[in-house]
Amino acid sequence: MSASTQAAPTPASPHTTEKTSWIDAVVRAREVSLIGVLAVLVIAVSIAEPRFLNAQNLRDILLNVTIVGLLAVGQTIVVITRNIDLSVGSILGISAFATGIMFADHNVPIPLVFLGGILFGAFFGLINGVMVAWARVPSLVITLGTLYVIRGLDFAWAEGRQINAADMPDGFLSLATTEVLGFPVLPIFTIAAMVLVGVALGRSRMGRELYAIGSNPDAAVLAGIRVSRRVLGAFVASGAIAGLAGVLYASRYGTLDAVAGTGIELAAVSAVVVGGVAIFGGSGTVWGAALGALLLTTIRSALVILQIDPFWDQAIQGALLLAAIGLDAYLAMRLARELRKRRSANRV
């Protein structure tokens, strides 16, 4: 029989293709859905309380989302690789205190303080990355440990000391109050980081390799990807961004001590997962993570302005987190099942 008369491989059934396409469409629609939920929330709260849309409240929402959004950007890089970084809150806290020390005790210029904060955070990210990527210890265990270790170092360094706004230059503190064309300056740092990381993840070889590692680490090794190096780089990037967040935290709040940023790592993880970044790795974007942070911050602001018990903030955040994880698990199982069916059909 000639090559021209040989039967072509049997294509995947339309039913299988349709199901896989539906799953892909749901994944792509997560960010659009978040925008829709955010719009409905804003409209509903505005009807109940017109003050919600006044300029001051919108400005406060933007400023409040700056720190969590920035942490969510760094967390996205790590979660895409099928890892997690629970130490970002402690890295933020110790970087914020280091920022105050550089100003209060050493009179360091503002640009060098930003650089110092980023390098300070990157150092702790390097420690996390070495233990996860090279020592092969699960990231959940390592970063849970460093969360407490770094916070302990912060307490030992501070020794009960508090740094106030009077100890820092007005030019630095004004970042939280200055506006450009009516837009606060502080969120611009988060937007810049989001664009930079988003473009790197979406269009660079490094980004494609990070997604490949999260999708299937064993296959990534077989494909020649330097998995350990990429995972190490992801943790360093997360630490550096948390360090930058610490500097911005100092500018935003002005009062610094050893408890700065306590618990904020959970808000960052929630924002990432709610924003459609799969906790199992391999999918998601920083745009979705930023939308997740904006949604959670808006919910918190709505509860305050409606004078609802703050307990519901944590309850809603937890419910959204569980729903997002459940959806990710469901989609992962469905997609794996359909891929197995497609491979079986192609063998026939």
Would the pLDDT of 223 be above 80? yes
User: According to the model, what pLDDT value does residue 321 have?
Assistant: 79
Domains of the chain as residue ranges with CATH: 53-333 (1.10.3470)
Amino acid letter for position 269: V
Would the pLDDT of 12 be above 50? no
**CA-to-CA dists, residue 348 to 8, 11, 335, angstroms:** 11, 9, 20
**Residue-wise pLDDT tens digits, 135-183:** 999 999 999 999 999 999 999 999 999 999 999 999 999 998 888 887 8
Q: Higher pLDDT residue, 296 or 27?
A: 296
Mean pLDDT, rounded, for 309-338: 77
Mark out the alpha helices in the chain (DSSP H runs). Answer: 14-48, 55-80, 88-106, 110-129, 139-158, 170-173, 186-203, 205-215, 217-222, 227-253, 264-274, 286-305, 311-347
Query: Which is nearest to 112 in space by CA: 103, 124, 121, 104?
Result: 103
- Rounded Cα distance, 136 and 80, in Å: 17
Q: What is the dihedral of CA 80, 81, 82, 84, to 10 degrees?
A: -80
User: According to the model, what pLDDT value does residue 189 have?
Assistant: 94
Would the pLDDT of 5 be above 60? no
- Rounded Cα distance, 305 and 300, in Å: 9
User: According to the model, what pLDDT value does residue 337 have?
Assistant: 75
User: According to the model, what pLDDT value does residue 242 have?
Assistant: 98
- State CA 73 to chain mean position distance: 4
Contacts of residue 282, Cβ cutoff 8 Å, sequence gap at least 6: 80, 82, 211, 212, 213, 214, 215, 216
Would the pLDDT of 284 be above 70? yes
Percent of the chain with pLDDT over 70: 89
- DSSP sequence for 253-270: H--B-TTTTTTHHHHHHH
Q: Higher pLDDT residue, 31 or 56?
A: 56
Would the pLDDT of 24 be above 70? no
User: According to the model, what pLDDT value does residue 15 have?
Assistant: 43
Instruction: Report residue 32's pLDDT band, with 50, 70 and 90 as the boundaries.
Output: confident
pTM of structure: 0.87
User: According to the model, what pLDDT value does residue 245 have?
Assistant: 97
**Residue-wise pLDDT tens digits, 245-277:** 999 999 999 999 999 999 999 999 999 998 989
Helix axes 139-158, 88-106, angle to 10 degrees: 30
The answer to which of 101-115, 195-209, 270-284, 333-347 has the lowest mean pLDDT is: 333-347
User: According to the model, what pLDDT value does residue 280 have?
Assistant: 85
User: According to the model, what pLDDT value does residue 348 have?
Assistant: 62
**CA-to-CA dists, residue 119 to 54, 92, 142, 235, 239, angstroms:** 38, 12, 20, 13, 9
**Residue-wise pLDDT tens digits, 72-103:** 999 999 999 999 999 999 999 999 999 999 99
Are the C-beta atoms of 194 and 74 separated by less than 8 Å? no
The chain-wide mean pLDDT, for the chain, equals 87
Instruction: Report residue 339's pLDDT band, with 50, 70 and 90 as the boundaries.
Output: low
